[in-house]
Amino acid sequence: SSKGYNLFLVAAHEFGHSLGLDHSKDPGALMFPIYTYTGKNHFMLPDDDVQGIQSLYGPRDEDPNPKHPKTPDKCDPALTLDAITSLRGEMMIFKDRFFWRLHPQQVDAELFLTKSYWPELPNRIDAAYEHPSRDLIFIFRG
């Protein structure tokens, strides 16, 4: 369930250590030190983990198919965003399975996996809206 642990992900993380990988600073990586639930039917090994293994053992001889999900770079001039909204006084900027959270008193936005806050949401958000007087948040996809 999304409230527990996915044994496959925990085992894969520990297997990464046995292969020589340390913890990653990328919050979207399997080797990130803080566990985030992901259903095993939707799991693809993130690019950061692939690069870590390839730095130890060398790259594949051919291009992998399908492409691995990448963590968005907020400084990428070609970056397109999925949704931007203000929720509970903070700016939320959604891109693929991630969102940046910017508090008015912060200088830099923090990057999070969307499922780390909202496990039941889809991997991509198209729009979000807060109805403050009713204390409701609406998330849209599709």
**Annotated catalytic residue: which of 14, 62, 110, 120?**
14
SS3 131: strand
Binding residue ranges for Zn(2+): 13, 17, 23, 31
Is 14 known to be catalytic? Answer: yes
Q: What CA–CA distance (Å, rounded) separates 98 from 56?
A: 27
SS3 124: coil
Binding residue ranges for Ca(2+): 82, 84, 126, 128
Q: Give residues with Cβ within 8 angstroms of 111, minimum separation 6.
A: 27, 71, 72, 74, 98, 99, 100
Binding residue ranges: 13, 17, 23, 31, 82, 84, 126, 128
Catalytic residues: 14
